[in-house]
Amino acid sequence: MVIRTTTDPMTLRDVIPLDQHPTLFEGDDENGLEIHFESEKTLRDYKELHPHDPKILAGNDDEDYVAEG
């Protein structure tokens, strides 16, 4: 599944029309995150962010999986 966000994460403004703004895709061909930005500057600023303690999430799409906790 691909998740698309049309709100620039740096300015929190809606990005319209999408085809006239920069886009960043993180993921593979089947799953990922498509992020649209107002400008090349906000895209560059986003890429320069380095979280102090980055987390890596892994999912489980097995039909028998039950979340615990």
Peptide bond into 22 cis (omega under 30): no
Q: So where are the chain's domains? A: 2-48
- Return the structure tokens found at 13: 């403004």
How remote is the C-alpha of 21 from its chain's centroid? 15
16-68 residue pLDDT tens: 999 999 999 988 878 999 999 999 999 999 999 877 776 777 766 677 767 67
For the chain, the C-alpha Rg in angstroms (whole number) is 15
Band of pLDDT at residue 14, cut at 50, 70 and 90: very high
Do 36 and 19 contact (CB within 8 A), yes or no? no
3-state secondary structure (DSSP) of residue 42: helix
The label of the residue with tokens 């303690």 reads 53
N-term to C-term CA, the chain:
25
